[in-house]
Structure 1
Amino acid sequence: MDDPVLAAIATALATSAVTELTAGGKAAFNALVRLVRRKAAEQPETGNALVAAQDDPSDKHRLAELNAALAAAAQNDRTFAIELHRLWNEIRAGRPQEDHSETRNTISGPVTGQVVQARDIHGGVSFG
């Protein structure tokens, strides 16, 4: 079974993508790295997959191998799985929340002149 959380963790581990995290999120990410490295010390296949993915994070095959190694480790070690998911939730809590709100602009009737339909304008608007 594919676990999107493990896929996200594999990508984050390979790319060390923590630039947008708060201090708490970065601390959780560092704890996640330590957790995976401890598991890698016990299971060479996990360690090899981690190193390979970090060497070339753009290689989808290497990311898939790391994802599979994490999935196998999580399946064989319930404590590892729980801690992995707990830390990932902490990391996600340390990221800026995505805005899923909508803006709808409606113009009806005859319009003369210029019209701007926008959301979240920071600064002026001018027509040249």
Structure 2
Amino acid sequence: MDLISVSALVSLLSKIFNGTTEKAGEQLWQSLASVVRRLFGRNATSVEAVKRLGERPGDPDAIRALAQALVDDTSRDPQAAAQLRHWVVAAEQTIAANGDVTNSVSGEVSGNVLQARDVHGDITF
């Protein structure tokens, strides 16, 4: 099984705390904290790192420390690594579904332009 990299976890955790995911970010953070406690009990480095990040939400050093602790702890436990990978996939899907959208129009445009994130149903101009 591929281990999750520190940089991938830093990126994901940063997205959770940077405010773009709003309520989804809070839910993801709570679910990660729960997963870490369940996987590692009370004595793992990851549990302490979750506590520190919870005290300093969004702090880049605390984010990096948690990412490193998760990589270290899961490298010794294949089952924990699989469960963390499952959480990462679900978190990435949640962020993609709740993330920002950037629309841009460039060049010469003649006619109607629609900028939207999700469109359900017909559009008529």
Q: Which TM-score tier does this pair reach, normalised by the shorter chain? A: 0.5 to 0.7
CA contact (8 A) 1:103 1:119 kept: no
Which residue of the partner structure matches residue 65 of structure 1?
65
Secondary structure at 2:98 match in 1? coil
Long gaps (5+) in structure 2: 117-125
Which residue of the partner structure matches residue 75 of structure 1?
75
- 1:55 Cα deviation from its structure 2 partner: 0.6
- 1:56 Cα deviation from its structure 2 partner: 0.9
CA contact (8 A) 1:20 1:96 kept: no
| Percent sequence identity over aligned pairs | 13
Superposition TM-score, scaled by structure 1 size = 0.58
Deviation track 1:7-49 (CA, whole Å, cap 9, x = no partner) reads 2454467x4966353xxxx5x7654332111234253422221
Structure with greater Cα Rg: 1
Alignment of 1:1-128 (within 5 A): 2-11=5-14, 15=17, 19-21=22-24, 26=27, 30-94=30-94, 95-96=97-98, 99=101, 103-106=105-108, 120=115
Q: How many residues align?
A: 107
Long gaps (5+) in structure 1: 108-117, 122-128
- 1:5 Cα deviation from its structure 2 partner: 2.9
Which amino acid is 2:56 matched to? D
- 1:69 Cα deviation from its structure 2 partner: 0.7
Distance 2:18 2:106 in 1: 37
Distance 2:32 2:60 in 1: 21
Secondary structure at 1:38 match in 2? helix
* RMSD (Å), alpha carbons: 3.8
Superposition TM-score, scaled by structure 2 size = 0.59
